[in-house]
Structure 1
Amino acid sequence: MKRWRDSSFRAQVKSSPMVARLYQILRLLVIWVMIAQFFNGNFENVFLCILTLILFLVPSFIERKIQIDLPDTLEVIILLFIFAAEILGEIRAYYISIPYWDTMLHTLNGFLCAAIGFSLLDILNRHERLSFSLSPLYLAIMAFCFSMTIGVLWEFFECTMDVFFHLDMQKDTVVNTISSVMLDPNGGNVPTAIHNITDVIVVTADGSEIPLGLGGYLDIGILDTMKDLFVNFIGAVVFSFIGYFYVKSRGKGRFARRFIPQVLPETPSSEPKK
């Protein structure tokens, strides 16, 4: 477990060489991609690279400011998650070219957010100045709720970007059957289905028709959002289950300990008292 207070890179290498070297490798890769994107004129991707470099600093910043120790396993996964989401997913278009890339990241996000939410409550639960004690089941439920809340807020963000900035963060899905009460020929509240849809024709304001040629109807992000929330749910349930038995065994679980931050002990001040 790391016990360093010095924020220098050399100190981090001594205390956690694997994390420090991984950070250095990922940072060099991001800088290389940023230079390439700059010369290609993709300035939006340059901004994503800068954002990625900033996000890489968040784990060590949290450790120094809140005086907690992030386990090496958790820190490695966070760094790889950021790189996979921003550089590989967005810039290298893995969200499009590799099936289930987005699903994998959302599942992992649910797992990590549950771990973070669990650790926040567990740290408070172990604090000597607090007079209440939370049961393992309550901690597990709150960790699950925290993870799902983060997942919902992220979907809100994706929807906002799509509506106001015309992005496609909520990836569209091609379906061959739709059902809606708006298709009821009698104008009632009866869902009416259309099956075996093979194409959709868009009619513009000037009357021109544009066949989409997608092989079906274009669902605008609803199924993708529900899928993201469902896999987030799976990740949250998995860690909440693990966290429950971790607290039940009084912190003896080795696997859960790799993902739960710990409060660092107070170090005596070197300054003489006045």
Structure 2
Amino acid sequence: MKKLRWPQWIAAFIFVSMGISLVFTIFEIFTAPVRQPVKGPKVTLQGDYIFLLVEIILGIVILALPSILARRFKFQIPGLVYILFVIFLYGAIYLGTIQKFYAIVPYWDKILHTFSGAMLGAGGFSFVSILNADENVVMKMKPGFIAVFSFCFAVTLGAFWEVYEYTFDGLLGLNMQRFMTSSGTPLVGRAALADTMGDIIVDIVGALAIAIIGYFALKKGRPWMKQFEFKRHNWKK
């Protein structure tokens, strides 16, 4: 029997946590009310649990995606990179959405956006390291270009996330972009933009920090953090 390494144990724990949440969410879908009661406190509706179910399923799929892509395109994902990835998903989906950390922990959303900006920036450096290590690639990219690429890579994906939030806020009547108060009162002017712009700003801060650190590491002749480097790998059939 193949022994699991510690990154795989952590991933397995997160898979189990989200699997259990999946079962409970399905149960809540059949028991939650469709509309808010006329009297009494605000309750979680069936539509909210359906959206939560979709997020959990997507989270489980995304959690398995790196391994699928690594095998498909024949590269090896460093354990540290994968751990950072699954920790982010755990914080965003399980803790943030299921355990409602977004509502009860101050600035939880901003912490995750800063972390994701840095993580995606490191991912940009890592992907370029594959090309620079490829003997078939004639041109080697300079540290300045790699730093700019990693920064743009991270900020672009952060912008796509804001498009996702905007789209589903419109389609499902959600409030992921915090354009209205918890009581449902729409915000006006700059107040309505504060959450979205704050997310983009901290994405930029995280990505910029990694771009600067990576640039100076490469400029001084040191390889970009070996534990973050993706490598070509010949998978055994």
What is the TM-score normalised by the length of structure 1? Answer: 0.70
Deviation of 1:263 after TM superposition, in Å, equals: 2.4
Matched, 1:37 2:37: no
Deviation of 1:219 after TM superposition, in Å, equals: 5.9
| Matched residue type, 1:40 | E
What SS does the corresponding residue of 1:132 show, helix, strand or coil?
coil
Which residue does the alignment assign to 1:259?
228
> Following the alignment from structure 2 to structure 1, what is the Cα–Cα distance between the partners of residues 177 and 62?
22
Higher relative contact order (CA 8 A, sep 6+): 2
> Following the alignment from structure 1 to structure 2, what is the Cα–Cα distance between the partners of residues 81 and 75?
10
When the two structures are aligned, how many residues end up with a matched partner? 217
Larger Rg: 1
Q: Can you list the C-alpha shifts for 1:43-94, whole angstroms capped at 9, x where unaligned? A: 4323322222211101211221222222211111111111211122122221
| Matched residue type, 2:25 | Q
Higher strand share: 1
Matched, 1:113 2:82: no
Deviation of 1:102 after TM superposition, in Å, equals: 0.4
Match of 1:75 among 69, 74, 82: 82
Q: Can you list the C-alpha shifts for 1:101-146, whole angstroms capped at 9, x where unaligned? A: 1001101111111112222223222321122121111110111111
- 8 Å CA contact retained: 2:129, 2:230: no
Match of 1:54 among 42, 54, 61: 61
Matched, 1:90 2:97: yes
**What is the aligned-residue identity percentage?**
26
> Following the alignment from structure 2 to structure 1, what is the Cα–Cα distance between the partners of residues 176 and 191?
10
Match of 2:169 among 154, 162, 170: 162
> Following the alignment from structure 1 to structure 2, what is the Cα–Cα distance between the partners of residues 90 and 168?
13
> Following the alignment from structure 2 to structure 1, what is the Cα–Cα distance between the partners of residues 80 and 100?
26
Flag structure 2 segments of 5+ consecutive residues without an equivalent. Answer: 30-48
- 8 Å CA contact retained: 1:246, 1:252: yes
What is the TM-score normalised by the length of structure 2? Answer: 0.81
> Following the alignment from structure 1 to structure 2, what is the Cα–Cα distance between the partners of residues 218 and 173?
11
